[in-house]
Chains A and B, each alone.
Chain A
Amino acid sequence: MIRVVLPPHLRTLAKIAGEVELEVPGPATQRSVLDALEARYPMLRGTIRDHVTQQRRPFLRFFACEEDLSHESPDAALPEAVASGAEPLLIIGAIAGG
């Protein structure tokens, strides 16, 4: 079970509270986790990565295990602690604006 923590605005949009727990078939990567997330919550499509290019939106970052994974390949394996569910994948909105 993979755990994902979304920023508050996306939790509101998807009508969920707290962490999301996802069954992810195959290796746990950014792409496979986001595929599973968007399959369960289709309203999140396009809000984290572009519909077509699949690129991460520029004001969002991916953190886990006190590391910044934002610039890792979307097909790179996530840390074992994330794959095992010991640690969540954090999707973070840039702190900016007013």
Chain B
Amino acid sequence: MSKVRVLVGTRKGAFVLESDGKRQNWDVAGPFFAGWEVYHMKGSPVDPNRIYASQTSSWFGQVIQRSSDGGRTWETPGGGPQQLPGGWMKGESNKFVYDESKETGAPLNTHQWYDGTQKPWVFKRVWHLEPSLTDPDSVYAGVEDAALFRSTDGAASWQELPGLRGHGTGPNWQPGAGGMCLHTVILDPSDPGRIYIAISAAGAFRTDDGGKSWKPINHGLRSNHIPDPNAEIGHCVHHVAMHPSRPGVLFMQKHWDVMRSDDAGENWKEVSGNLPTDFGFVIDVHAHEPETIYVVPIKSDGEHFPPEGKLRVYRSRSGGNEWEPLTKGLPQSNCYVNVLRDAMAVDALDSCGIYFGTTGGQVYASADAGDSWAPIVRDLPAVLSVEVQTLP
């Protein structure tokens, strides 16, 4: 019988939750990296035992952890007792240095700050780790201040893909309330050269040549908080999701508005429809139904909790516009948690499982595509991210 492994990053460490295919009884392991913020963990699609984790701290900076046994044990790649020629160990798995060399494009040193002035790019943390679809030693990292890095040696060392920051609009990027983070990385399974990324608050971008050149893909987005609501850059995209069988179709939860693109991001149209509020952070797609999507509406940008104190997942079976609330098993009174942008995921079992974590420390699971829910755990630290592995 298949198994499911849920990787949970929290404000105070990481947790690994495992169950058989029934998804009723769960083993909870952790906390790993106790006391540190774990922004994201994700497993390799080609080697499920290989998992990468972003461990971060305001005190001690960034650490990258790697597991080769499904999350039971962890190591800092290149940080162990290995002796390199010359007598020095390398220890560069947490070294994220922006590429400002002339050889790779125009040096780019500043972006827009909250007050409109220019501010130097400074690395702060890794928000998202996206393992390669074909090589367990290759992994992408979306970081704050926004940039995309790649490792091809199992996260022992990192190199920026500088064409993104350097393509021309970088000086106009600005931070959202959470920082200027590159939080979404989507690899196209049908085209190894195509990658989508999203940045708060710059927008969505796409490369078709493996990261050498990039273009903004924000046509159709409208954001009333910027001087030109239809600008090419400046949109606070919260998350983007794609079904692997239809890589040209994208779904987006923007700061406000749920959006959809049917042409690889060239054009977007709003599909918020009958949602009670179209503000939110997460969005995801059913594993077997590419037109079935999920969001968790949040009251507003000033009030980051569910409307009316009712925690409701909304599902659309029509790719947007027509939404139904899913409430069975979820608290329907006095609930004031948030669900952050990387804190929803799906499994690939026949009856698709949906998972999400809250800032109140609950991880909820549905083994029936959202019809009913139950908490796997109730009292973790605030959940930052949830990823799911479907195991043989």
Binding site for B on A (CB under 8 A): 7-10, 12-13, 38-39, 41-48, 51-52, 57, 59-60, 93-94, 97
Contact = CB atoms under 8 A, between A and B. Distances in A.
Contacts of B36: 9
A10 B59 CA distance: 10
Contacts, number: 62
A60 B87 CA distance: 28
Nearest to B12: A98
B78 A42 contact: yes
A16 to B, nearest CB: 12
A13 B63 contact: yes
Contacts of A47: 60-61, 63, 94
B65 to A, nearest CB: 9
B contacts with A: majority SS = loop
Contacts of B94: 43, 45-47, 51
7 contacts: A43-B76, A43-B79, A43-B80, A43-B93, A47-B94, A57-B60, A94-B59
A72 B89 CA distance: 27
A61 to B, nearest CB: 11
Contacts of A43: 63, 76, 79-80, 91, 93-94
Given A47-B61, A47-B63, 13 more contacts: A7-B59, A9-B36, A9-B59, A13-B63, A43-B93, A44-B91, A45-B94, A46-B95, A51-B94, A51-B95, A52-B97, A59-B58, A60-B60
Interface in B44-62: 57-62
A8 to B, nearest CB: 8
Sorting the interface of chain B by its residue count into under 10, 10 to 19, 20 to 34 or 35 or more gives 20 to 34
A19 B89 CA distance: 21
A52 B120 CA distance: 15
Contact of B61 (A7, A12, A41, A46): A46
B92 interface: yes
B90 interface: yes
B59 A38 contact: no
A12 B32 CA distance: 11
Nearest to B122: A50
Nearest to B76: A43
Nearest to B94: A46
A44 B80 CA distance: 10
A76 B89 CA distance: 25
Given A9-B35, A13-B76, A45 B59 contact: no
Given A47-B94, A51-B95, A97-B58, A39 B63 contact: no
Interface string B87-110: 011111111010000000000000
